[in-house]
Amino acid sequence: MGVLDGRVACVTGGTRGIGLGIARAFLDEGARVVVNGRDPAKADRTMKELGAGDRVHFIAGDVKTREVCEAVVDGTVSHFGRIDILVANAGGAADFAPIAELPDEPLEDALRWNLWHSFWCMRRAFSYMIPQQSGRIINISSVEGKVGKPGLSSYVVAKHAVNGLTKSAAKEVGPLGITVNALCPGVIETDIVKEGGAGAAAAMGLTYDELLAQFAADSAIKRINEVEDVANVAVLLASDAGAGITGSLISIDGGTSPY
């Protein structure tokens, strides 16, 4: 018997990294899960890995557009009949540069990827959760939602905004049986970090390895975090035990964030 038996979850960016870890943890606890991702080829591999049969369903699309975000939420409801848990997990940033040299486009892209995506998915999910007077929204933010880093302003700004959205939304739906929280992980060596990390490091004047070393040095545990660290907290928030936790920006960063 799992703590999420009978629940239906939707995880954006769920074919790898943190999203995949959350999808797996939810499936282990008895939930049915919709996984979204850009690449159907990666999804085939992911579905095989998960081995959860008809308890998992893939919906393709890039969450940087409203149509996709809404289709992923609607598709969850049409496939499994309801939506109990939304994990707005996809996100990242690219083309990092110091603010003095930063064009508009990378900031716009980061806002679409992190902030608009969370907003579009959350708004659509509320249209189902408010009538049913129950639900869980989990935004995957970052330690960069609480602290700044030079050269990474697009990402830092977008994640801070996600944290603000989380807190406002929590107050709006607090009495309706819906919780809204953000998880703020430290750096984790996911595929997306491996792909974009070199660019981020360069904007900070570091190599990729130096960037990881600096994040580890900023923490208390002196090592980077792991996908499972985040998934385990997501399960708690998604379960009945998480009913009294909302509007929280939970640090899963090995003791990095000052608050």
Partner 1 sequence: MGKLDGKVACITGGTRSIGRAMADAFLGEGAMVVVNGRDPAKGAACLQEMGAGDRAAFFPGDSSKQDVVEGLVDFTIEKFGRLDICCLNSGGVQATAPVFQMTDEEWELEVDWNLNHVFWGMRRALQHMIPRQSGRIIVTSSVEGKLGKPGLPGYVATKHAVNGLVKSAAHEVGTLGITVNAILPGIIETDIVRETGPASAQAMGVGSYEALIDLFCSESSIKRPNKVEEVAAVAVLMASDAAKNMTGCLFPVDGGTLPY
Active site residues per annotation:
155
Binder of partner 1 out of 41, 99, 217, 221 (CB under 8 A):
221
Determine the Cα–Cα distance for residues 226 and 208; give it in Å rounded to an integer.
17
**45: contact with partner 1 by CB under 8 A:** no
Name the one residue in this structure whose structure tokens are 């809204």.
Answer: 180
Count of Cβ atoms closer than 10 Å to residue 220 Cβ: 9
Question: Per CB under 8 A, which region of 36-44, 49-57, 133-141, 241-249 contacts partner 1?
Answer: 241-249
**259: contact with partner 1 by CB under 8 A:** yes
Instruction: Identify which of residues 140 and 252 has a Cβ nearer to partner 1 in the complex.
Output: 252
Binder of partner 1 out of 94, 167, 189, 213 (CB under 8 A):
167
**174: contact with partner 1 by CB under 8 A:** yes
**150: contact with partner 1 by CB under 8 A:** no
State the minimum distance, in angstroms, from the CB of residue 130 to partner 1: 14
Instruction: Identify which of residues 45 and 222 has a Cβ nearer to partner 1 in the complex.
Output: 222
Residue 60: burial class (beta carbons within 10 Å; 0-12, 13-18, 19+): middle
**142: contact with partner 1 by CB under 8 A:** no
Supply 159's token pair: 């994640």
Question: Per CB under 8 A, which region of 11-19, 106-114, 129-137, 251-259 contacts partner 1?
Answer: 251-259
**254: contact with partner 1 by CB under 8 A:** yes
Measure CA of the first residue to CA of the last residue in the chain; give whole Å.
36
Query: C-alpha dihedral over 179, 147, 193, 124, to 10 degrees?
Result: 30
State the minimum distance, in angstroms, from the CB of residue 235 to partner 1: 9
Q: Residue 106 phi/psi, 5° resolution?
A: -65, -35
Determine the Cα–Cα distance for residues 163 and 166; give it in Å rounded to an integer.
5
**248: contact with partner 1 by CB under 8 A:** yes
State the minimum distance, in angstroms, from the CB of residue 186 to partner 1: 8
Contact 183, 250 (CB under 8 A): yes
Determine the Cα–Cα distance for residues 191 and 29; give it in Å rounded to an integer.
25
Determine the Cα–Cα distance for residues 210 and 70; give it in Å rounded to an integer.
39
Question: Per CB under 8 A, which region of 76-84, 192-200, 204-212, 236-244 contacts partner 1?
Answer: 236-244
Contact 18, 188 (CB under 8 A): yes
Binding site for partner 1 (CB under 8 A): 167, 170-171, 173-175, 179, 219-223, 225-226, 228-229, 232-233, 236, 239, 241-252, 254-259
